[in-house]
């Protein structure tokens, strides 16, 4: 049995060595939906920490702007226009990233249809809209994981971080397609963790609460914001930067024995 004392940090060099476990410098991190909202903040914060974000967004201009923001702050970044619901486009993302950097270390499955959705009873959701949400939010996550898996398996190391949603445990009404899609993300995370663990690949999810970004949401009123914040343990609005710490941590060696988990970052809105 290993002596617990062997793991105690006793010298400055031990502390330095342990600190490297939290280092993300030079890690190549693909972020889908990275051109705006919380994906944009993941890219900016990872770039500031020394990682190399690859911004994959269906809007080429938005992705390019975020990549330039990272570079202007002294980091490195790449933007690749990507439709996550299209298998060929996703494969182009993976191939283009490997061609540029020789590897991929982390995939952040963040792309999702949400802010543009109108709140309405589930009977009134157009079938085409339902299918679009499932195609991007669920099938897109599957396609990206499927495309990057061979790269990770060859390396014997990799991180998949899926972005879930607090809308699922809250049972938020009038967003049934979105809630259903994010419930699927939790299931995908749990199942993929079982399939990929033997290859040195971890799969986890980060569950945001009601996060307010630069992307307008006409369905959220000032009164709704006040009510949301009032139900949190930490009584202030959640912003994208609140989520970056959990994502960055999951990119590190320090998180190598964490898989199949959902980390809730919502100011205590849904705490147990």
Residues with active-site annotation = 178
Copy the structure tokens of residue 68: 């330039």
Nearest Cα neighbor of 248 from 57, 31, 66, 69 is 31
Read off the DSSP letter of residue 270.
T
User: The sheet that has 262-265: what strands, in order across it?
Assistant: 78-81, 52-57, 28-32, 106-109, 158-163, 201-208, 262-265
Query: How many Å apart are CA 162 and CA 272, to the nearest integer?
Result: 22
DSSP labels, 54-86: EEEESSHHHHHHHHHHHHHTT---EEEE--TT-
Give the length of the chain.
272
Provide the Cα torsion 170, 238, 112, 203; round to 10°: -80
Number of other residues whose CB lies within 10 A of the CB of residue 67: 24
Distance of CA 248 to the CA centre of its chain: 10
Pairing of strands 78-81, 52-57: parallel
């Amino acid at each position: 049995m290993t002596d617990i004392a062997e793991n105690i940090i006793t010298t400055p060099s031990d502390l330095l060595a342990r600190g490297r476990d939290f280092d993300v410098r030079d890690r190549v991190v693909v972020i889908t939906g990275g051109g705006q909202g919380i994906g944009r903040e993941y890219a900016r914060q990872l770039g500031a920490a020394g990682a190399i974000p690859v911004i994959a967004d269906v809007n080429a201009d938005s992705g390019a702007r975020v990549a330039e923001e990272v570079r202007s702050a002294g980091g490195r970044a790449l933007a690749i226009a990507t439709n996550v619901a299209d298998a060929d486009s996703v494969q182009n993302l993976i191939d283009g990233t490997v061609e540029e950097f020789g590897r991929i270390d982390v995939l952040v499955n963040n792309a999702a249809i949400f802010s543009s959705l109108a709140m309405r009873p589930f009977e009134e959701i157009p079938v085409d809209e339902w299918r679009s949400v499932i195609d991007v939010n669920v099938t897109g996550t599957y396609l990206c994981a499927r495309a990057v898996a061979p790269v990770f398996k060859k390396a014997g190391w990799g991180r998949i971080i899926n972005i879930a949603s607090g809308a699922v445990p809250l049972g938020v009404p009038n967003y049934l397609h979105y809630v259903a899609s994010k419930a699927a993300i939790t299931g995908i995370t749990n199942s993929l963790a079982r399939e990929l663990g033997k290859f040195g690949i971890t799969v986890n999810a980060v569950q945001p609460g009601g996060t307010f970004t630069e992307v307008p949401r006409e369905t959220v009123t000032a009164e709704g914001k006040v009510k949301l914040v009032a139900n949190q343990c930490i009584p202030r609005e959640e912003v994208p930067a609140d989520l970056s710490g959990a994502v960055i941590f999951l990119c590190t060696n320090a998180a190598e024995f964490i898989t199949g988990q959902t980390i809730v970052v919502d100011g205590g809105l849904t705490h147990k």
